[in-house]
């Protein structure tokens, strides 16, 4: 009973290890050796992690409903296993993993210092995996030539592969040359995967070094994959073709990402009133909210492009058959996840070794 009462009492920043504290958050910390059940119960108690958990855990269900709305509104109802939707499902896997891993990391990170490190290693890895899922969706649905249909009958290789046959289409508006589209065919997906791996390494490293600049580094690493992944959109906005949904949703997506970066780096509002926003309203909760709003606008943008592709293929009287394959979508995601898993395992092993060394040092000091 005394131990349980002690654990139920929230602690000050001076009562927990320095690695657990957050800038300008003075109270609301949980005892650093909660059990699994106590972590679950803490989701319904006012701690400095409660809002961090719910802002992404509830977002899982909101995202899933918004995602499935595309299939519910499609006539006739498509098959979930259609190759055309492979990139969309890999995108779903990336977002679902990001939101779930983030919420679980904030819920269970008080089990021990080692578990805390592993939780956030996994969290950083899912952010990188999400960017790869976005890149796959962009490549197959927002490719620079994805909706470029020449007059009368399309002979564009990408569109023919997407639709499954030549499609009659009206004469499009004049466009700039798409000569640079060859880059996306060869280097875009490998570049996105490489950046995802590098970003996982950088984020995990900030838990061992560069701690003074950890928020800036993590934010920069968070935005870097977005810049690479958005290359098809930047190209489409410059060279066309475009539809009515691409630009507005993309600009809103950028706005929410920028807002999330500002909150994460500036530590507003708790910077101006330390202690006042320890439980509710601190910057990391706003960071979560802005990040999820950016994901929702990204999903709306992708759904709009998918509907545009289906409209181009309407003359074929069938659902477009994408050029995507199991290997080029799920295979790519699985390969990236394996690389990220290897990085997380290496950092986890190192963190475990450091933890054991510190425990031995403490025991030796007690003996002395």
Q: Identify the H or E element spanning 163.
A: helix 157-163
Q: 355: buried, middle or exposed (CB in 10 Å: 19+, 13-18, 0-12)?
A: middle
Q: Return the structure tokens found at 118.
A: 């592993």
Q: What angle do CA 71, 77, 78 make, to 5 degrees?
A: 80
pLDDT number for residue 76:
66
Count of CB atoms within 10 A of residue 357's CB? 10
Q: Which pair of structure tokens corresponds to residue 94?
A: 């990336």
What is the rounded CA–CA span in Å between residue 14 and residue 26?
A: 8
Assigned token pair, 172: 């499009």
3-state helix, strand, coil in the chain (%, to 5): 70, 0, 30
d(CA 11, CA 211): 22
The Cα 95–Cα 356 span in angstroms is 35
Q: How is residue 271 written in tokens?
A: 């910077």
| Residue 228 pLDDT | 84
Consecutive 10-residue runs of the chain (368 residues): their mean pLDDT? 54 90 93 90 94 97 94 74 89 96 95 92 93 93 56 36 37 44 75 92 85 78 81 81 78 94 92 94 96 96 86 53 80 95 93 72 48
Other beta carbons within 10 angstroms of residue 284's beta carbon come to 20
Residue 286: C-alpha distances to residues 254, 270, 277, 281, 282 (Å): 16, 11, 12, 7, 7
- Dihedral sign, Cα of residue 94, residue 98, residue 99, residue 103: positive
- Judge residue 325's burial from the number of C-beta atoms within 10 Å of its C-beta, 0-12 exposed, 13-18 middle, 19 or more buried: exposed
Question: Three-state DSSP class for 29?
Answer: strand
Tokens of 294: 């950016």
Spatial separation of the C-alpha atoms in residues 364 and 362, rounded to whole Å: 5
Task: Please provide residue 93's backbone torsions phi and psi, each rounded to the nearest 5 degrees.
Answer: -60, -45
Predicted model pTM? 0.84
What pLDDT is attached to residue 70?
87
Integer-rounded Cα Rg, in Å, for the chain is 23
Q: What is the pLDDT of residue 192?
A: 92
Q: What is the DSSP letter of 329?
A: I
Quick one: which of 196, 45, 59 has its CA closest to 126? 196
């Amino acid at each position: 009973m005394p131990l349980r009462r002690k654990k139920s009492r929230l602690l000050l920043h001076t009562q927990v290890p320095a690695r657990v504290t957050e800038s300008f958050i003075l109270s609301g910390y949980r005892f650093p050796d909660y059990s699994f059940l106590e972590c679950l119960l803490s989701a319904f108690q006012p701690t400095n992690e409660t809002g961090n958990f719910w802002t992404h855990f509830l977002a899982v269900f909101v995202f899933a409903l918004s995602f499935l709305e595309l299939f519910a509104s499609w006539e006739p109802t498509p098959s979930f296993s259609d190759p055309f939707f492979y990139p969309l499902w890999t995108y779903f896997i990336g977002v679902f993993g990001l939101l779930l891993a983030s919420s679980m990391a904030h819920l269970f990170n008080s089990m021990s210092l080692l578990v805390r490190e592993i939780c956030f290693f996994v969290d950083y890895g899912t952010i990188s995996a999400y960017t790869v899922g976005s890149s796959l969706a962009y490549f197959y649905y927002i490719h620079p030539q994805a909706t470029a249909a020449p007059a009368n009958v399309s002979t564009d290789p990408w569109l023919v592969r997407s639709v499954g046959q030549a499609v009659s289409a009206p004469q499009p508006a004049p466009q700039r040359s798409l000569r640079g589209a060859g880059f996306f065919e060869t280097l875009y997906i490998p570049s996105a995967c490489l950046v995802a791996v590098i970003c996982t390494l950088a984020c995990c490293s900030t838990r061992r070094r560069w701690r003074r600049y950890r928020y800036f580094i993590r934010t920069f690493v968070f935005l870097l994959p977005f810049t690479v992944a958005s290359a098809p959109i930047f190209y489409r906005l410059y060279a066309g073709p475009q539809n009515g949904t691409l630009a507005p949703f993309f600009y809103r997506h950028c706005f929410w990402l920028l807002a999330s970066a500002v909150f994460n780096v500036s530590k507003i509002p708790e910077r101006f009133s330390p202690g006042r926003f320890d439980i509710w309203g601190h910057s990391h909760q706003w960071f979560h909210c802005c990040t999820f709003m950016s994901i929702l606008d990204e999903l709306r943008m992708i759904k709009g492009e998918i509907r545009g592709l289906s409209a181009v293929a309407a003359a074929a009287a069938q659902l477009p058959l994408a050029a995507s394959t199991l290997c080029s979508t799920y295979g790519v995601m699985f390969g990236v996840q394996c690389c990220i898993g290897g990085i997380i395992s290496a950092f986890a092993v190192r963190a475990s070794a450091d933890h054991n060394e510190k425990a031995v040092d403490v025991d030796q000091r007690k003996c002395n």
